[in-house]
Structure 1
Amino acid sequence: MSSGGPGRIPLWFELWMGVITTVIALLCVALCWEIAAQGSFPTKVLLWVGLSVVGGVAVCFGILGLIRYHAILVSLAAPILIATLAALVWYEVPESAGWRLSRPILEDQAAACANPGHRTRLGIYAVTYITRRDGGCLFYIAGGATNSEGLAYFPDSAPSIGPPGPGAIGYEPFHGPWYRFVENT
């Protein structure tokens, strides 16, 4: 029996759920950033695993809070954050937002298509290399697992669409004169 009666939520429970919800919110924000910026696969996996573990703890304590303390808001805050993140990822909101934020600066840089000589951030993308190839401007984006990948700008004519062959580049349409590419190395 709780000391404060069935309607009273203990302070330790509110604080614990507050900490868990804050950690989940931070993981959700970091994951949205990594997805939007086309971050590295290992980083995304670590964030998903961390979110799964902390989310599992939140669900366990949330069930306890619902049953024992009738703490609806405190117990459901973390699962609602996770559900919101899932919906955002499902509808590709982080990718869309990242592209909208980065497109103007990428188009400005594509006009000159000059490699800065070092890794740089254009919009939210970490660009490792910029070069002219196949009649367009290629932006290699950090985060590719084994192959080189990124975004390519072809303002005048479209490149050959299709998967890459050995030692070649494969392009797929992305947005207007922009294409995603993968280069097999």
Structure 2
Amino acid sequence: MSTPGTTRRTPSWFVLWMGLLTALIVLCCLALFWQLAAEGTFPVQVVLWSAIGILGAVALLFALLGLFRYRSFFYSLIAPLVIGIFVALVWYDVPETTGWKLSRNILQNQAADCANPGNRTRLGVYTITYITRRDGGCLFYTQGEESNSAKGFAYFPDTAPPYLGTPTSGIGYETFQGNWYRFTEES
């Protein structure tokens, strides 16, 4: 029984449980950060988003318990804070920007030869399925999410690509950064 003016001690099971939840959330956030940076597959991203959502809901329930019952602000708020920071990073496209910054020079060096290695390869953080010359540039096909379209990066060192915009059929380019473009090829 606690007397007025004293605080109730946070139970060790609560500290361990919130530590475990926070660690799992951090691992899922790091894995999803990598998937977003490397343009990973859609099913893996859905699983990771779902795991973060479920773990976040459980952490929120226990955070409310910790706040109201034990007055444990630090242990209660760390997991929701981690999720909030991660969502802000995703909102501002930090994973995608990081992936591009880590891969740009490697792709630029490969674009000089524009030779297909013959199989899937990793260039920077991206999994490249095919490399080819087309429309005066070098196209890097990344692993696709949809069966009827392909996407990737295109490097046009001398001139812009022949068609900018979303394709109805064929290939369409979008300005990305400098001489680099994103492309989508509809089949």
Counterpart in the other structure of 1:98: 99
RMSD, aligned α-carbons: 1.3
Counterpart in the other structure of 2:140: 139
Give the drift of 1:145. Answer: 2.4
Counterpart in the other structure of 2:155: 153
Match of 2:112, SS state, is helix
Question: Contact 1:63–1:75 (CA<8 Å) still a contact in 2?
Answer: yes
1:163 and 2:166 matched: yes
Question: Contact 1:17–1:74 (CA<8 Å) still a contact in 2?
Answer: yes
Mapped partners of 1:174, 1:41: distance in 2: 22
> Percent same amino acid among aligned pairs?
57
Counterpart in the other structure of 1:184: 186
Mapped partners of 1:19, 1:6: distance in 2: 24
Counterpart in the other structure of 2:176: 174
Give the structure-2-normalised TM-score: 0.94
For structure 2, the 5+ residue unaligned runs are none
Mapped partners of 2:117, 2:8: distance in 1: 62
Mapped partners of 2:39, 2:185: distance in 1: 16
Give the drift of 1:180. Answer: 0.5
Give the drift of 1:125. Answer: 0.3
Give the drift of 1:41. Answer: 1.2
For structure 1, the 5+ residue unaligned runs are none
Match of 1:57, SS state, is helix
Matches within 5 A, 1:1-185: 6-146=7-147, 147-159=149-161, 160-166=163-169, 168-185=170-187
Question: Contact 1:41–1:145 (CA<8 Å) still a contact in 2?
Answer: no
What does the per-residue CA deviation read over 1:69-119, in whole Å, with 9 as the maximum and x for residues that have no partner?
A: 111111111101101011101111111111111000000000000000111
Mapped partners of 2:8, 2:176: distance in 1: 54
Which contiguous aligned blocks of 4+ residues in structure 1 show a shift greater than 4 angstroms? Answer: none
Give the drift of 1:6. Answer: 4.3
- The aligned length equals 182
Match of 1:7, SS state, is coil
What does the per-residue CA deviation read over 1:130-166, in whole Å, with 9 as the maximum and x for residues that have no partner?
A: 1111111000111432311110001111111011122
